[in-house]
Chains A and B, each alone.
Chain A
């Protein structure tokens, strides 16, 4: 990786995680193709859509958290992951 990208271990970890997540989704889709359905979001989504919506919602939770409270960001991360999982399963 070029120096000018000024990598840090945490950001590298996050991006590796995201890349792995995409790989897992690709492999999963290969073995069991995603099925579109309607959940509490009221729009037709397949699991990839829900992953995207879940990740964006998690980011919103984190951003909102840091904007209004000084409580630990680990708690925020837990809430964000919970939101992403709920959307992923029932969204």
Chain B
């Protein structure tokens, strides 16, 4: 307590000294020494972080520790459990179904990135830069982002249905292509992929649009004077400016698509067969459906490890782009 009081007084004294120095503007004499001595060391601001610490402890840390505990035991009931060491991790990493789901999720994320990033940039480039249509374009592009995940799933579940859905019916009866996402695994995959593209390309487009808007007009005027083609303008002026936001967009979209759950759960439920059972869908089946806490715990931790690594890369990139 005494320490804190001294520290606060020290801080105030330093503030006053700073004010005086600012007024006189010609007294740099013993400034460095005083700063080193009287630097305010009031750590009470840490108390403001306490609510976050408490809520994270209860919503994340304690559940995570419990999951770790689950992952090393075979649990029949709270009083009837056996320690099995790392056996569940061995079983989970070698399970063909889980390995297939892992590859499937990676493939899905790769396809999502391959489609959404170029498409988002194309939309951003095509969007108007000024005038009345800017607002219209922004609202239209942002609309899918405002819809909750399960509603997106429901919309597409009905839209893609061959009998009553507008999209599914059109493909079957107007284009004459046999399309049924409840029976055909390719159709189901495409439905989920196109749904994700519809839902999340706007995010990439808006990020890219914001970056493009920040390019000063003289760049484009110079390009015009030099007689640069539209492609050269894009390649040499716009694309370099997009580097930062595209890195963020790629990481965000990778994370989200790698953790996708609600939409495929609502549209296909992971089917037909295993065609769209991504890691999260399979995990919830094991954890909540079969109530196999041990394997589900081990599975979650490995899944968490991957997400954790990508998050850290994301965090590092995000904090370093500012520098």
Contacts and interface: CB of A to CB of B under 8 A. Distances in A.
Interface hub of A43, A53, A63 (most chain B Cβ within 10 A): A63
B320 to A, nearest CB: 7
Interface stretch (B166-174, B177-185, B301-309): B301-309
Interface in B29-69: 62, 65-66, 68-69
A37 B85 CA distance: 38
A52 B65 CA distance: 17
B73 A8 contact: yes
A5 to B, nearest CB: 5
Contacts of B94: 67
A11 B69 contact: yes
B89 interface: yes
Q: Give the size range of B's interface with the partner.
A: 20 to 34
Contact of A66 (B86, B316, B320): B86
Interface in B216-246: none
Given A10-B72, A66-B89, A4 B66 contact: yes
Nearest to B63: A5
B200 interface: no
Nearest to A68: B93
Contacts of B213: none
Interface of B: 62, 65-66, 68-70, 72-73, 75, 78, 81, 83, 85-86, 89-90, 93-94, 302, 305, 308-309, 312, 316, 320
5 contacts: A11-B68, A11-B69, A15-B68, A59-B305, A67-B94
